[in-house]
Structure 1
Amino acid sequence: MSLLPFLEDVFAKTFHASSTASRKQNCTPASPSSCICRDPYSGEVVFQRPYLSLDDAVEKVLKTQRAFKIWKSVPLGKRIAHIQKGCVYFEDHKAELAKEITKAMGKPLSQSLFEIEAGVSKMKQLCTQAPKALETEFPPSPDEGKTRYEVQRVPKGVIEVIAPWNYPVFTALNGVIPALLSGNAVVLKHETLPAVGEAFEKAFGTFRCASAGAPGSSVGGPTPVEGLVSHLLVNVETSSILAVERDEIKHRVFTGSVGGGRGVMQTVGERAQNTKLTSPFITCSLELGGCDSCYIARDADLETAVPFIVNIGRLHNSGQSCCNVKRLLVHSEVMKEVEAKLCDEFGKTVLGDPSDENTTIGPLYGGKERVRFLWDLLLDAKKKGAKKILVRGEDVTALDLKALRLKVLMASPGSEDAFFAPTIVMFESAPPTSSPSVPRLLQEESFGPLLPVVSVGGDEEAVAIANGTSFALTHSIWTTDSKRARRYVDAIEAGTVMVNWCNDVHPQIVWSGQRRSGNGQGAMGSEGFRVLTYPKSVILHDI
């Protein structure tokens, strides 16, 4: 009798026990019992509800699994019709949902509304892509048709989608919609913006079948099936336990911080040691942070480039985007003109109540801790060679720290440090990556309206600086020379490279990150559907 199964079981139990204990130990303080969301402008509580217990969360997962068993047999055309019906829900409720987003995370109201409208457009676009992405492949026969091959795309099961606060509709739909179109069911963890999680459940969570449970049941019949999308209001610990211990969950989709991504990967590793599961080996899709660069070449159309880079590339959503411009590289020959245009655009910003239609910069999510993190980055840059500091277009380089702080940090009715005034930090050059004198602002992810601008001597230097961080989500170049654009694209290491565009996600192509920005398991595009399905090969011989 072999001892291997016994030893494997002992190792797995020991590993699981120790990793679970470690996870609990790392929850300091202990995972909270209630979800509490505060308006970052007023400080008022806008949502408060107890988290689901583990038992209640398991019941929701089981309900979603039951829905999956029916949904997986629904023809693709009917799935598309269900998604389109859900889009109508978002269109009908966009005004109140936009207000919920603005209250919960401080996004200016017009931008919250835009996110919902653009999100619906992305959902519809994914519906048009699904047939091609999910079609069966027919590799060529080796013997003139006697042996035929098929490679089908079959759904995995229950997909867990974990979405963050900054673009709550965009980041949720990136996983939810391709999962549903592929025949999966979804548990959605939207802890930081529960109103959006509940909206996805209401829009897509229930479908009707002619005969629930019958293979090939058509959508639109008399029998309602609930749980196709279930919003899970659970804390991190409960979510991790579900991922490690529940066989129903077959894939995790996570958008968030690098630290959060490590936690998700850890649970996938822990699950692999759980010998009680039928499917211990699952995959995950990680879209994490970025320190994205944008290069303005010497021949760029500055009249178009600078306003777009500032208002869409950097300051949209108050600078809180994984893929916005966090380092602006400018050819030295056009630096003077670019600086003047940057100051002009930054000077137009309006800070204030995000529900006011005139506001363009809202309070930062995370409150004073986030504001003070940006302040620390600014001080570090000042110590490490910043040539000039411009706050909303005004040169404040000569101010002492107390005066500078009064210019940069601003209060709201609910917090003494709620706003960080849009600030430009100018550098004559960037030190080598290995140098201790490299400002943190040029290496770390700065989530907020703080933009470092670096003068470069040419394309090669721009490429070296762009590739010189541990992040690789997106980079962009602005140029009128197609050959220069192609050389730059080919030299850049990132999930997405944009030419004369930035800070955008197009559903027609795969969205993924490399290095610390993700694990290359993409969302959207054809690849976004494939990672949420299993390939099933069929060999037909002499039939």
Structure 2
Amino acid sequence: MALETLKTISPITNKPILIRTGISSEELALLPETAQKAFQSFSQSTTLAQRQEIVRRALGILARKKDELGREITEQMGRPISYTGVEITTAVKRGEFLLSTSSSLLGEEGVVDGEPEKGFKRYIKRKPVGVVLIIFAWNYPYLILVNSLIPALLAGNAVILKPSPQTPTIVERIASAFQEAGLPQNVIQYFHSGSLTQIQTLVRSPLVNHICFTGSVAGGLAVQQAASDRIVTVGLELGGKDPAYVRGDVDLAWAAEEIVDGAIFNSGQSCCAIERVYVHESIHDKFVEEVKKVLSRYRVGDPFDKNTQIGPVISRRSQETFNAHVADALAKGAKDETPENETFKDLPADGNYVKPTLLTGVTHEMLVMTDETFGPVIPVMSVKSDDEAVRFMNDSEFGLTASVWTKDVATAEQLIEKVEAGTVFINRADYPSPDLAWTGWKNSGRGVTLSRFGFDQFVKLKSYHVKDYPK
């Protein structure tokens, strides 16, 4: 049987820019076997200090290549060149944070002593889980991968990486950096595939001990279903429909600038982008006018132009979804209040460009307020009170992040206690802080990355109960 041919289609031109060859069934079967052998050697022959040094060197290699790696991200997923190098820098900083916390979580301080008792020793140790399969998305490929890869390696696991066909070079660059840093052979392996069947085969392998998946709800459900045939842990980082609530006391110009950035940065292609905006009725019209001012200054176009702020969305399918959500809203009574902007006109036909769109008069009967759009849309809905805002914020199958914008931080702190989301912000949005747990509620996922709790999925506990031999 011929091997699968995987083409990376440029979102800028819709032409193929990279080709990778898939993996045979025989090669697929060897991956977990090879990984298990590498794990046994790596976990037993290296100390935490040695693993830390390998990770430190690899992060340094990535940092030195940030411009080159950033250019590849722009080519493959269309984010403007002014921002892609920053992803590498942020990923390295995130990795360094995880590195800095690893001694207290994985070293001798991580051993939990039992209650002292004469003639007995009782304690708990954290042990690596084994082989970790990491399946990750294209929208922030280095950031997403670092969340799982760094703690997995520091804990002493071996990993198998499966990238999106849209950004295939990331695993190649990561593997090369860690090889140069001295990581033993086969501790990191990767494969290219567009086949759900192949992914399910690996998920079902008894030699795979933990699965990390970042992607769509449908993809996460498919992975979870495949894993249900056996006892194995699965971490899922899925979608979002993240709300923002703007209270009546804000500085309107400042709030508009922040909300627009949180909604349309990376062309809105972030699981924690602001996708719903609720504004107190007392400032609704003025807020909308301020948003128009901000949008009128944004530049959409060629992502290799350093002045461009918004590039194309990832694919024709994403473009169609975006347009369908906007059309659905307009058909149901919403109003397009997007301001005049020369760069929004005559968008290049070859690429997957869409107009950043401001909608008012939206309701929860519209797709743009219920389904993940994953594009640069700002739907604004007027609300009468804090209670009504919270009710609408919670009216969603998703629960990744949510934000409240106000001068009255004390009141906002009370409001966010009622909001159903894994991360809640006040006067900020779209920022996974490395010292906080990144976790989804509802259909936004399960499990935790980042923070001290981000190491938990990569270790298992082993209890020791030792009694002195009777004399």
| TM-score tier after normalising by the smaller chain length | over 0.9
Matched, 1:169 2:142: yes
* 5+ residue gaps, structure 1: 1-29, 209-223, 273-280, 396-405, 432-437
SS state at 1:315 partner? helix
Q: 2: distance between equivalents of 1:292 and 1:523?
A: 19
Structure 1 residue 249 displacement after superposition = 1.0
Matched, 1:370 2:296: no
SS state at 1:113 partner? helix
Aligned to 1:264: 223
SS state at 2:103 partner? helix
Conserved 8 A contact 1:153-1:530: no
SS state at 2:209 partner? strand
Aligned to 1:484: 411
Matched, 1:81 2:53: yes
Q: For the structure 1 residues 206 and 268, does the alpha-carbon distance in structure 2 shift closer, same or farther, using more than 3 Å as the test? A: farther
SS state at 1:452 partner? strand
Q: For the structure 1 residues 157 and 31, does the alpha-carbon distance in structure 2 shift closer, same or farther, using more than 3 Å as the test? A: farther
Q: Over residues 11-61 of structure 1, what are the superposed CA-to-partner deviations in whole Å (9 max), with x where a residue is unaligned?
A: xxxxxxxxxxxxxxxxxxx99811110111122322102101121233333
> Which of 428, 432, 445 is the matching residue for 1:518?
445
Aligned to 2:348: 412
Structure 1 residue 228 displacement after superposition = 1.5
Aligned to 1:538: 464
Aligned to 1:421: 355
Aligned to 1:194: 168
Aligned to 2:6: 35
Q: What amino acid maps onto 1:455 in structure 2?
A: S
Aligned to 2:239: 289
Q: 1: distance between equivalents of 2:314 and 2:163?
A: 15
SS state at 1:36 partner? strand
Structure 1 residue 133 displacement after superposition = 2.8
Matched, 1:155 2:122: no
Conserved 8 A contact 1:258-1:289: yes
Q: Over residues 500-521 of structure 1, what are the superposed CA-to-partner deviations in whole Å (9 max), with x where a residue is unaligned?
A: 11011111111111111102x1
Task: Tell me the C-alpha RMSD between the 2 structures.
Answer: 2.2
Conserved 8 A contact 1:206-1:227: no
Structure 1 residue 489 displacement after superposition = 1.6
Q: What amino acid maps onto 1:77 in structure 2?
A: A
Q: What amino acid maps onto 2:285 in structure 1?
A: K
Conserved 8 A contact 1:67-1:228: yes
Conserved 8 A contact 2:300-2:344: no
The 5 A counterparts of 1:2-81 are 33-73=4-44, 74-81=46-53
Aligned to 1:24: none
SS state at 1:536 partner? strand
SS state at 1:152 partner? strand
Q: 1: distance between equivalents of 2:257 and 2:343?
A: 23
Moved more, 489-498 or 145-154: 145-154
Moved more, 283-292 or 345-354: 345-354
Structure 1 residue 78 displacement after superposition = 1.5
Q: For the structure 1 residues 430 and 44, does the alpha-carbon distance in structure 2 shift closer, same or farther, using more than 3 Å as the test? A: closer
The 5 A counterparts of 1:452-491 are 452-491=379-418
Q: For the structure 1 residues 407 and 76, does the alpha-carbon distance in structure 2 shift closer, same or farther, using more than 3 Å as the test? A: closer
SS state at 2:274 partner? coil
Q: Over residues 465-522 of structure 1, what are the superposed CA-to-partner deviations in whole Å (9 max), with x where a residue is unaligned?
A: 0000111111111122232122112101111111111011111111111111102x11
* TM-score, scaled to structure 2: 0.93
Structure 1 residue 97 displacement after superposition = 1.3
Q: For the structure 1 residues 356 and 70, does the alpha-carbon distance in structure 2 shift closer, same or farther, using more than 3 Å as the test? A: same
Structure 1 residue 384 displacement after superposition = 2.0
SS state at 1:295 partner? strand
Q: 2: distance between equivalents of 1:300 and 1:485?
A: 12
Q: What amino acid maps onto 1:200 in structure 2?
A: I
Conserved 8 A contact 1:53-1:234: no
Q: 1: distance between equivalents of 2:272 and 2:468?
A: 52
Aligned to 1:25: none
Q: What amino acid maps onto 1:500 in structure 2?
A: N
Q: 2: distance between equivalents of 1:535 and 1:305?
A: 46
Conserved 8 A contact 1:410-1:421: no
SS state at 1:354 partner? coil
Q: For the structure 1 residues 91 and 442, does the alpha-carbon distance in structure 2 shift closer, same or farther, using more than 3 Å as the test? A: same
Q: For the structure 1 residues 291 and 145, does the alpha-carbon distance in structure 2 shift closer, same or farther, using more than 3 Å as the test? A: farther
Matched, 1:231 2:190: yes
SS state at 1:242 partner? helix
Q: 1: distance between equivalents of 2:358 and 2:3?
A: 38
Q: 1: distance between equivalents of 2:337 and 2:36?
A: 54
Conserved 8 A contact 2:42-2:184: no
Matched, 1:116 2:63: no
SS state at 2:172 partner? helix
Q: Show structure 1 runs of 4+ deviating over 6 A.
A: 406-409
The 5 A counterparts of 1:71-470 are 71-73=42-44, 74-134=46-106, 135-138=109-112, 140-141=114-115, 144=117, 146-192=119-165, 193-205=167-179, 208=182, 225-235=184-194, 236-244=196-204, 246-270=205-229, 272=230, 281-311=231-261, 313-367=262-316, 369-386=317-334, 388-391=335-338, 393-394=339-340, 411-412=347-348, 414-415=350-351, 418-427=352-361, 430=363, 438-470=365-397
Conserved 8 A contact 2:245-2:277: yes
How many residue pairs get aligned? The number is 464
Structure 1 residue 413 displacement after superposition = 5.8
Q: 2: distance between equivalents of 1:137 and 1:51?
A: 43
Conserved 8 A contact 1:157-1:185: yes
Aligned to 1:5: none
SS state at 1:364 partner? coil
Q: Over residues 421-459 of structure 1, what are the superposed CA-to-partner deviations in whole Å (9 max), with x where a residue is unaligned?
A: 1111012x745xxxxxx1111111011111100111111
Conserved 8 A contact 1:186-1:229: yes
Q: 1: distance between equivalents of 2:119 and 2:332?
A: 71
Conserved 8 A contact 1:190-1:196: yes
SS state at 2:126 partner? strand
Conserved 8 A contact 1:119-1:169: yes
SS state at 1:129 partner? helix
SS state at 2:277 partner? strand
SS state at 1:161 partner? strand
Q: Over residues 134-179 of structure 1, what are the superposed CA-to-partner deviations in whole Å (9 max), with x where a residue is unaligned?
A: 34343551x6555443221110111011111111111111111111
* 5+ residue gaps, structure 2: none
SS state at 2:228 partner? helix
Q: What amino acid maps onto 2:360 in structure 1?
A: M
Identity of aligned residues (%): 30
Conserved 8 A contact 1:207-1:225: no
Q: 1: distance between equivalents of 2:63 and 2:349?
A: 32
Q: 1: distance between equivalents of 2:331 and 2:128?
A: 54
Q: What amino acid maps onto 2:129 in structure 1?
A: K
Moved more, 51-60 or 322-331: 51-60
